[in-house]
Structure 1
Amino acid sequence: MKQKFSTFNWNALNWKYLFWLSPVLIIMGLTAGAIAGWQGIPVGLIGAGLALAIAWLILEGPNQKGFWGRRSTQEGTNALIATLAVLIILGLVNFLAARQATRIDLTENKIFTLAPQSQLVAQQLQQPVKAVIFTSSADPIDEELLRNYRRQNDQFSYEFIDPQAEPGIAQQFGVQSFGEVYLEAGETRRYIQTINTQERLSERKLTNGLLQLTNTQPQAVYFLQGHGERSLEPGQGGFSQARASLTDVGYTLEPLSLAENPVIPEDAAVLIIAAPQRPLLEREVQAIDTYLQGKGGVLLLIDPQGEPNAAQTDFGLNPLLDRWGVRLSDRIIIDPAGQASGLGPAVTIVNQYGDHPITRGFGNGISFYPLARPLETQPISDVESVSLLITSERTEAHRLGESGALEFDPNTDPRGPFNLGLALSRTVADAEAATPEAEASPSPSPEASPEVSPSPEPDSTASESTAPQSRLVVIGNAGFAADGVFEQQLNGDVFLNSVSWLSQQDDELLSIRPREVTNRRIIMSPQQQLSAAAVSIAILPAIGFIAALWVWWKRR
């Protein structure tokens, strides 16, 4: 019996049906990879689909010469290639955008962008720090703020925890209510604030918390008392807001009286003399001078006059200031810009700042100073002096008469620009050797013009040196840091940056502090709400309907 054997005819197999299986496998692989992750099965499905497509092209290509020569096939192929090219370009653009993210914040206070100081604090984290928010639901705005910190440094992380779902963790932190926010670094935990529907997560408090958490050595700031200086308690002209801001960033504050014991404590990082109204005793000035011969920092805020003697302008400080080449003028600055802005002619508006770590991040921002006095300067060989606050050319300086009224004399009254603030420093090693030379230097004449004198260029070598320095900041005004004015514009930044620089902290951290969101809510009475609803729901649609009828009638 003759048995017939037949061979399998591969050419008889219609490969087009296998070709249509190729995109099915590829789509299955992409879907599985997007949902379950790019493991072996999704990659295998995609590979099998691509293999079938390549096999179809190899085996069926010679049999489809007419197909490849058609115009429709060429146009379809071109469209497919163009689509793939666009998808590849979009993918590359998104990849580059994710690696090099650039964001544009068009809000008024840049509420979606971290302030320069917040960015620097986050970038300089050397250990992992976690923000823990105990709430049942994460607010999108709060989470976006935390993401901004995360973008600056991988050492920062955050976690939202429901205290009811995880009571053990809440007990470890000592949580008392929903919305409590903590910062955790190693074994150290610090409470930041409690958030709710009325109060969201604050960038200012979060940045201050990071500073306190990473600052292991709190520094002491002393406020001189006993001469009618500004009060640290709330009230007219008080410094309670300045005190609270210093406490927030980790300083310890203490009052200091030098009348009984004329010695400044060794732990004093900064001594603040805020607008004395009576002269200091000679031994008090000597104690301050001795403090400045070492690694000390003094912030001197001097208003134009004291009480009860209106002629008193130096408060006994001239012997000290002469060593630094500074003299307090007995005039008051008059600024037309203050008059035009509605603040009054005696309010000096400043938007020009010297190149110094205290003011380097200010740009052309505004700070203002009610009843300010100009400063006269004279170069001292071992003192580096930089102008901080420079008034405009339109300002004038007038004397204050014995009656308390300004005296105007166009022939003698100098015109701006004036120095309103100075930052001075000298190395500790050269301070004692330079003191006799400074004493021998001629003192500036009280009648000298208080116009801005050319300050020596900052020595980059000296600035970058790690040698300890004695530092002095003199500002011819104290009202800019008073309650009610402290948090406006850049006033608080001038004060806080001056204290930070005097305490000889990292100069890179001196910048503009975080801003809070401006409240733009519109509060309407019930009658106003009804009026707004009537206008939007009834009146405006009725006007549109009537206009449409009129157009239809004209074209009929």
Structure 2
Amino acid sequence: MKTIKRKKIWQYLFLFGPFLFVVGLTSGLVSGNWGAISLAFLIAGIVISGLWLLWQSQKSNWWKSRSTQAGTNALVAILAVLVILGLINFLGTRYHLRADLTEAQLFTLAPQSQELVRGLQQPVKIWIFDVNRNSQDQELLENYQRQSSNFRFEYVDPQARPGLAEKFGVKDYGEVYLESGDKRQLVQTVNENERLSEVRLTNRLQQITTSTTAKVYFLQGHGEHPISTGEGGISQATQGLSDKNYTTSPLNLTENPKVPEDAAVVVVAGPKRELFDAEVKALQNYLDGGGNVLLMIDPNTDPKLNNLLQEWGVRLDNRLAVDVSGAGVGLGPAAPIITDYGQHPITKDFGQGISFYRLARPLEITPVAGIEATPLLRTKPYPNSWAESDLQSEKLEFNSDQDLKGPLTLGVALDKKLSAKAQSIPTLTTSPSPSPTSEGQASPTPTTSPLPSPTPEAQTSPTPPTEEKSEQPATEARLVVLGNSDFATNGLFQQQLNGDVFLNSVTWLSQQNQQLLSIRPKEPNNRRINLTNVQASFLTLSSLLFLPLIGLVTAAVIWWRRR
């Protein structure tokens, strides 16, 4: 009897093996720290379980018994299920399979945002100083986080962590900050009426991850659109450039007929009067040295740029672009609606999006050796569009003798490879030092315009981003010509794709590889049906009277036939 009891006690003692193993495994997983205590429990459990198996193996009939085989099969099945579940969870954590079934892809980041986040070289973090977690904002941030492990975000209660709030200078709930290294930047303030914007977040992320800024000059003095607020100004366009880490300044070539060295792009926005020959020559020299120019020329104007454009194979047509397809949306025939875009980095993501241009002139493109020309904006074919020559007539009608049938080209992007002798114009600089000249070319000299300073909200760290001088000479010159400038003015800039055409043109011209093209905020398509009173009454009667009556009559007929 004593021998039997001792054997039973030893059998019960062996149960401590699995128990100690589970204790060690649980303590390590919960605490996240596999210290000496967790490892001691694990090793003790494994040793006791191993001794028990060794003791049982000495019994000749233990491995052959039916109960042992059944228990072994059950244990193997349980372990297999656990391994399969573990693999599924591992694959589900590492690889995400998501399908956005919305028509406008509301829950998918724009390709520009994905490219920027995937290319992050250092960790960045979003701090949301708010006590409420909005599901829409959190979903957007999670979409960013899925693209790269270097992107993180955290919600913070300013009252619970006042030191951190003071570090960022938080003044109110809902402020969203971006941090990368010692740089900190305010993204926006979110509230019930304004949610976190992908456009702003991507632009701020681009600004904080780059150490250089490009300068865009706007030519002034010939009736161009002013860089100011109000009707006819282009302050919204300049603000859009600032959001993309550009600095903007006016340029007057009559004071010094040479383009500044730090000019990444020169914009000529709707001149109404002709330029002096010295100014045109300055633009030509700038382009010959690897510069980049955006020309937006309206109808009924002659800025005397024909010699410059002729070198690039572009001729301004004096006729007016007419498009009668815009009458259904309230636009007159003199405001062409564009949905046909060229295959070019400026317009490659536009698809069938809409942009419109009030009072635009067509462009004629002639092939020139060494210059690659890509039409950007094309009107609809005739009879929807044509080039009207009689601008005095109140009724626009096509005249086969004088007018030109559509489709018409309203915008073109041109790229010219520079020869080895061409003098490059640095796009970024830190000092106004002149560069040596090449044969037959004027040397660019600096202007007295001040260096750009970061915006108040753009940088709170003690080391703001500085401009760096480009060490690589320019290998190509770029020119974009548009037959309208009105689309970039205040009020029209933010409508449809108008602003994207301008911002993408400047971005491509600046030749800044790290700069992203413009992205549009995504909005759900309006699928509401507008019914008249008659239609609403008919719908009410059909749903409450006609359809139930048809059902009752059908049921009565079936009942009568069966009876």
Counterpart of 1:201 (choices 180, 186, 196) is 196
Q: Which residue identity does 1:493 align to in structure 2?
A: D
Q: Percent identity?
A: 46
Partner of 1:460: none
Give 1:387 shift. 2.0
Q: Find the counterpart in structure 2 of residue 493 from structure 1.
A: 500
Q: Give the partner amino acid of 2:123.
A: P
For 1:300 and 1:97, how far apart are their aligned partners in 2? 51
Deviation, 1:270, is: 1.1
Within a 5 Å distance, the mapping from 1:81-120 to structure 2 comes to 91-120=86-115
Tell me the SS of whatever aligns to 2:419. Answer: helix
1:473 to partner: Cα distance? 0.5
CA distance in 2, matches of 1:206, 1:158: 12
User: Which amino acid in 2 is paired with 1:355?
Assistant: Q
Q: Is the 8 Å Cα contact of residues 117 and 514 (structure 1) preserved in structure 2? A: no
1:35: how far off?
A: 4.5
* 2:535 equivalent in structure 1: none
Q: Could you say which residue in structure 2 is the equivalent of 1:382?
A: 370
Aligned residue in 2 for 1:356 = 344
How far apart, in 2, do the equivalents of 1:89 and 1:6 lie?
Answer: 46
**Native 8 Å contact 1:501 1:510 kept in 2:** no
The AA in structure 2 aligned to 1:499 is V
Shift of the alpha carbon at 1:129?
A: 2.1
Deviations 1:187-207 (A, max 9, x none): 222222222222222222221
Q: Secondary structure at the match of 1:246?
A: helix
Q: How does 1:335-354 map to 2 (within 5 A)?
A: 335-354=323-342
Higher alpha-carbon deviation: 217-226 or 231-240: 231-240
Cα offsets for 1:5-31 (capped at 9, x unmatched): 97559999999x999999999988887
Deviation by residue 1:298-333 (Cα, 9 ceiling, x = unmatched): 111122224xxxxxxx42111110111100112223
Structure 1 match to 2:385: 396
* Structure 1 letter corresponding to 2:477: S
In structure 2, list runs of 5 or more residues that go unmatched: 424-438, 440-471, 529-539
Query: What TM-score does the superposition give when structure 2 sets the normalisation length?
Result: 0.72
TM-score where L is the length of structure 1: 0.73
Please show how residues 298-317 of structure 1 align to structure 2 within 5 Å: 298-306=293-301, 314-317=302-305
Alpha carbons 2:206, 2:515 under 8 Å: kept:
no
Sort the Cα spacing of 1:185 and 1:20 in 2 relative to 1 into closer, same or farther, 3 A: closer
- Deviation for aligned residue 1:347: 3.0
Question: Letter of the aligned partner of 1:396 in structure 2?
Answer: S
Higher share of residues assigned helix: 1
Given that 2:17 and 2:44 are in contact with CA atoms closer than 8 Å, whether structure 1 keeps it comes out as no
Name 2:408's counterpart in structure 1: 418
Aligned to 2:447: none
Equivalent position of 1:123 in the other structure: 118
Aligned to 2:489: 482
Is 1:400–1:407's contact at 8 Å kept on the other side of the alignment?
no
* Aligned residue in 2 for 1:329: 317
SS at match of 2:290: coil
Matched, 1:162 2:151: no
CA separation of 1:99 and 1:42: change in aligned 2, threshold 3 A? farther
Number of aligned residues: 486
Residue equivalent to 1:472: 479
Distance in 1 separating the partners of 2:176 and 2:527: 26
- What residue identity is the alignment partner of 1:120? E
Call closer, same or farther: CA 1:296–1:20 in 2, change over 3 Å: same
The answer to whether the 8 A contact 1:118-1:514 is kept is no
Distance in 2 (alpha carbons) for counterparts of 1:185 and 1:164: 23
What CA distance in whole angstroms lies between the structure 1 residues aligned with 2:188 and 2:26?
A: 44
Cα distance, 1:89 vs structure 2:
5.2
2: distance between equivalents of 1:19 and 1:337? Answer: 87
Looking at structure 2, the residues matched to 485 and 83 of structure 1 have their Cα atoms a distance apart, in angstroms, of 66
Question: Quick one: which of 419, 428, 441 aligns to 1:429?
Answer: 419
Q: Distance in 2 between matches of 1:393 and 1:202?
A: 38
- Supply the distance in 2 between the matched residues of 1:49 and 1:236 (Cα, whole angstroms): 85
Contact conserved, 2:124 with 2:151, CA < 8 A, in 1? Answer: yes
Could you tell me how far 1:127 is from its partner in structure 2? 2.5
Counterpart amino acid of 1:350?
A: I
Gap change, CA 1:519 and 1:325, over 3 Å in 2:
closer
Unpaired stretches in structure 1, ≥5 consecutive residues:
307-313, 437-464, 523-534
Q: Separation in 2 of the partners of 1:128 and 1:473? A: 37
The verdict on how the C-alpha distance between 1:97 and 1:390 changes in structure 2, with shifts beyond 3 A counting, is farther
Structure 1 equivalent of residue 66 of structure 2: 64
Deviations 1:388-430 (A, max 9, x none): 2233334532224252644521355333333222111223436
Rounded to whole Å, the distance in 2 between the matches of 1:520 and 1:36 is 51
- The one-letter amino acid of 1:64's match is R
